[in-house]
Amino acid sequence: MAKKRWFSKKRTLFLVVCLGVILVAVIIAVAVAGWLAIRVPASPFDGAASAETSSPKLIQRGEYVARLGDCVACHSIPNSRAFTGGLKMATPLGSIYTTNITPERETGIGAYSLADFDRALRHGVAPGRHRLYPAMPYPSFAKLSDDDVRALYAYFMHAVPPVRQQNKPGNISSPWNARWLLALWNAFFTPSGTYQPKDAAVPGRISTLWNRGAYLVQGPGHCGGCHTPRGFAMHELALDESDPRYLSGALLDGWYAPSLRNDSNTGLGRWSEAEIIQFLKTGRNRHAVVFGSMTDAFNNSTQFMRDDDLKAIAHYLKSLPGDAERDGEPLEYKAAWIAAMPPSEWLKIPGAQTFMTQCSACHGQDGRGQSQWIPPLAGAASSLARENASSINVTLNGSTRVVADGIPSAYRMPAFRNQLSDQEIADVLTFVRTSWGNEGCAVKAKDVRALREQTNPASSNVIVLQMR
């Protein structure tokens, strides 16, 4: 009986219709994917003559936009000529190298028209439908204004010396190295369209200053590349303030870039606008000193920003609400914490002895650091964040030189990689993260071991710069 029903005409018809629908859906999906893969996005500069692009004023503006975008930090390696590329960056599928963006015609971008340059910068498509990996922050650069793109082009074409240097191939293996796949990624994760100012008519909140700040942070500054958490496809989970995950803190390349929202403990809630400006301009303030991957952003970008632009950035960041649930009770500094205990008592706390002998000369027994030169550990975002990567990484490896105004900083966090064991580092950081009122969670020896391996240049499992 059942058999007979299976072959009933109705059932057959139903199956045929289902298969037909699936087939049509597959054909449509393939057609859309194919269309996306071969589509060349339009540029407002298509067909534009580039003769007017070499005025000194435009070039100067372009140089400034290149500073805002920190192009040099990715498109150079130490001791190389600027913008010749060669920096190794990791993607989840393997490594790629940044490219030569000097105006050399064969190995660089010398043959690019303004429209070609625009498509690479704002859409991630280089000439020949060559899709770029989003390690190049085009999801952020998509917001750049036409005028800034034109200025950047003028700068690269007329003020950067051409250098002949071949690009290095990456090591992403087949089939993932097929670049048309990136067209699909782009379709989902790269918005198109330049930054649109919010209505300046709303009194008090949306001002020209706020809009300029939003533009700088979301667009050229690509702050979210490090400070916004990423999803399963390594895409930033939010690209502007309409989503509370925007700039809410993220782990990348073995560093934790903390929240830039008004979270009191782990964000900028306790910072004034003036203190944010001071940090971005001089690399330090009473709360923190630049370290980790922020050093790149500071050394090559934020310190060169004009005062009015820094003001705009600070103003915009201070408008982003924190999240008390994520951030916890506001920290209460407990000054008398150690003083109240006899040494025989506090020396029993694991890590206390290491702190007193190795760290307190600089960071102070009271954990408050020394004016602006040595940052406090009491109340530092790195001590309060749930993620302990920054605490561990800076203790293992110290910091790279912060160079403000051409002058390298006199004080640096030393590397303790060779002095302290995994357990000693875990203990001293657990001590730091739970003293003076700090309530970051404990650090385990296995966390230290993992980062020690990943940040050891001799290891085969070393962290290279990721998408940021």
- Any contact of residue 157 with ligand HEC (CB under 6 A)? no
- Any contact of residue 255 with ligand HEC (CB under 6 A)? yes
- Any contact of residue 239 with ligand HEC (CB under 6 A)? no
Q: Which of 45, 58, 69, 154 binds ligand HEC (CB under 6 A)?
A: 69
Q: What distances in angstroms separate CA 466 from CA 141, 182, 252, 272, 348, one per listed residue?
A: 17, 17, 7, 31, 41
Q: What distances in angstroms separate CA 372 from CA 222, 289, 314, 431, one per listed residue?
A: 27, 8, 19, 23
DSSP-based three-state secondary structure for 240: coil
- Any contact of residue 279 with ligand HEC (CB under 6 A)? yes
Exposed e or buried b per residue across 368-402, where buried means at least 16 C-beta atoms within 10 angstroms of its C-beta: bbeebebbbbbbbbbbbbebbbbbbbbbbbebbeb
- Any contact of residue 327 with ligand HEC (CB under 6 A)? no
- Any contact of residue 292 with ligand HEC (CB under 6 A)? yes
- Any contact of residue 411 with ligand HEC (CB under 6 A)? yes
Q: Is the peptide bond before 414 cis (omega within 30 degrees of 0)?
A: no
Nearer to ligand HEC by C-beta: 242 or 249? 249
Q: Which of 154, 183, 223, 312 binds ligand HEC (CB under 6 A)?
A: 223
CA–CA dist 54, 154 (Å, integer): 6
Q: How far is the CB of 200 from ligand HEC (least distance, A)?
A: 22
- Any contact of residue 132 with ligand HEC (CB under 6 A)? yes
Which residues between 72 and 111 bind ligand HEC (CB under 6 A)? 73-75, 89, 96, 98-99, 101, 109
Asked whether 43 and 115 are in contact (CB, 8 A), the reply is yes
Q: How far is the CB of 364 from ligand HEC (least distance, A)?
A: 10
- Any contact of residue 361 with ligand HEC (CB under 6 A)? yes
Q: How far is the CB of 335 from ligand HEC (least distance, A)?
A: 19
- Any contact of residue 293 with ligand HEC (CB under 6 A)? yes
Q: Which of 154, 277, 394, 448 binds ligand HEC (CB under 6 A)?
A: 394
Round the CA-based radius of gyration of the chain to a whole number and report it: 26
- Any contact of residue 62 with ligand HEC (CB under 6 A)? no
- Any contact of residue 121 with ligand HEC (CB under 6 A)? yes
CA–CA dist 172, 90 (Å, integer): 10
- Any contact of residue 416 with ligand HEC (CB under 6 A)? yes
Read off the tokens for 313. 């950035």
CA–CA dist 231, 222 (Å, integer): 17
